[in-house]
Amino acid sequence: MSETTPDAVPAAPAKPQVIEAPADRTRRLRVGSLMVVFALIGLALAIFTKGGKATFQLTSGDLQHNLLGVPAQFAALVLGLLGVISAGAYLLRRVPQSYSGYLAALLGICFIGSFLCWAAAGKTFPLANQFQGTLNFATPLILGALSGVLCERSGVINIAIEGQFLVGAFTAAVVSSTTNSAALALIAAAVTGVVMAWLLAVFSIKYLVNQVVLGVVLVVFATGITGYLFDQFLQSNAEKLNTPTVLSAIKIPGLGDIPFIGPILFNQTILVYLTYLAVAVVTFVLFQTRWGLRVRAVGEHPKAADTVGIKVKRVRYSAVLWGGVLAGLGGAFFTVGYAGSFSKEMTAGNGFIALAALIMGRWHPIGAMVAALFFGFATQLQSQLQIIQTPIPGELLLMAPYLATIIAVAGLVGRVRAPKADGEPYVTE
């Protein structure tokens, strides 16, 4: 990242001239142009913002109090200009390279800000709901993406996250309905997530099935089996088998009382707290522990790992199965964490968005979380904008995560690199 070039002339320490590699230059120009385009769109939105006040609602539900009114056009213009400045600074290399990531982030925030001012001019935008919903949509995505991080860091491609979601959602709903126990429901979801992960592991590690093929087939299998069991048992017996209790929110004393952030982040269900924990634990385990080092080693260069005595297949099995736990819990969120009863194909492609988040996050737990939050934000924004009625069709906003991922893998925004041995079965001669 922050490589200082060895060519820096030591004789002139006053003004260190950092020489840019041609590849970096091409990338900077490409990313910079894209940023400028976004910044100009933001500015254009600001110009077309109608006068009047944009009101942002800072607590969900409370309609009269905690309103933040801003002069819409003025705020949008300020943010738009700030966006143009940061894009320009990036393009013209006015800041050290190690800070250039912040410029992109700043531009993103400015763009969203001027967009919101434009959309909310003369109206009330429920900002607290927006963040609340972002977290709701992002939670399963984060868990699914973390599952993918574990699998793919160990060298097993996991396209079957969608399938793990489905079985997790199904079992959580059924177990919660029959036992009335949230803990049992979550455990059952994790267990079925592991069962799906085990199928993925056995077929890819033992039977050397192409992992992309396998993932696709497992999704079809999970769709079929949950659909069949739903049709056969749940539909005719809904009140007994498909009336799960939705997890209740637990307010964390102290933290939950922080204005604005508190109710959004710290008045959540146990599943959301588990998600926070999972991000921290996966990051720590993957990068600070011996097991994590082994996982990364077998994902990058299994032969070398084998040579130093690491059991490649065993490490891969354990990584994939732990991933199953997380994805199963992510699936549980769809039923006991949010919607209640199970319905056929209710995960609606979220497993694939989780895959996208994993890729956008460059196979890193924190990156995957940020990408998942961004995708959650876009999805929630779509439903909010429908409520306050803007001329932007919601479907186009729903495309945003997918388009963003294509832009990312096409190398427009930095280079996205998978673990070296991702998807390649390890065969010893």
Contact residues: another protein, CB under 8 A = 152, 155, 157, 159, 203, 207-214, 216-221, 223-225, 227-233, 344, 349, 352, 355-356, 359, 393, 395-396, 398-399, 402-403, 405-406, 409-411, 417-418, 420-424
Q: Is 232 helix (H, G, I), strand (E, B) or coil?
A: helix
Decide whether 135 or 421 has the Cβ nearer to another protein.
Answer: 421
Contact present, 319 and 150 (Cβ < 8 Å): yes
Give me the least distance between CB of 353 and another protein, in Å please. Answer: 8
Decide whether 131 or 203 has the Cβ nearer to another protein.
Answer: 203
300-306: long-range contacts, CB 8 A cutoff, minimum separation 24? 300/155, 300/419, 300/420, 300/421, 301/420, 301/421, 302/155, 302/421, 302/424, 302/426, 303/426, 306/426, 306/428
At residue 142's C-alpha, the angle toward residues 369 and 129, to 5°, is 85
Q: Could you say which DSSP state residue 19 is in?
A: P
Smallest Cα–Cα separation from 220: which of 163, 156, 166? 163
Give me the least distance between CB of 73 and another protein, in Å please. Answer: 28
- Residue 251's DSSP bridge partners are 267
Decide whether 18 or 348 has the Cβ nearer to another protein.
Answer: 348
Give me the least distance between CB of 319 and another protein, in Å please. Answer: 15
Decide whether 27 or 53 has the Cβ nearer to another protein.
Answer: 27
What's the one-letter identity of residue 340?
A: G
Decide whether 131 or 230 has the Cβ nearer to another protein.
Answer: 230
Give me the least distance between CB of 398 and another protein, in Å please. Answer: 5
272-301 b/e (C-beta count within 10 Å ≥ 16 → b): bebbeebbeebbebbeeeeebebbbbbbbe
Decide whether 212 or 277 has the Cβ nearer to another protein.
Answer: 212
Q: How far apart are the first and last CA of the chain?
A: 38
Smallest Cα–Cα separation from 35: which of 94, 96, 76, 85? 85
| Per-residue tokens: 13 | 């320490």
Give me the least distance between CB of 207 and another protein, in Å please. Answer: 4
Report the distance separating Cα 5 and Cα 27, nearest Å: 17
Decide whether 263 or 425 has the Cβ nearer to another protein.
Answer: 425
Give me the least distance between CB of 410 and another protein, in Å please. Answer: 4
Report the distance separating Cα 46 and Cα 117, nearest Å: 8
Decide whether 273 or 402 has the Cβ nearer to another protein.
Answer: 402
Decide whether 211 or 269 has the Cβ nearer to another protein.
Answer: 211
Contact present, 324 and 196 (Cβ < 8 Å): yes
Give me the least distance between CB of 333 and another protein, in Å please. Answer: 20
Give me the least distance between CB of 22 and another protein, in Å please. Answer: 17
Decide whether 323 or 423 has the Cβ nearer to another protein.
Answer: 423
Q: Is 389 helix (H, G, I), strand (E, B) or coil?
A: coil
Report the distance separating Cα 53 and Cα 122, nearest Å: 5
Report the distance separating Cα 187 and Cα 189, nearest Å: 5
Give me the least distance between CB of 379 and another protein, in Å please. Answer: 11
Smallest Cα–Cα separation from 425: which of 204, 275, 252? 204
Decide whether 82 or 162 has the Cβ nearer to another protein.
Answer: 162
Give me the least distance between CB of 130 and another protein, in Å please. Answer: 20
Report the distance separating Cα 266 and Cα 269, nearest Å: 9
Smallest Cα–Cα separation from 428: which of 299, 295, 307? 307
Give me the least distance between CB of 416 and another protein, in Å please. Answer: 9
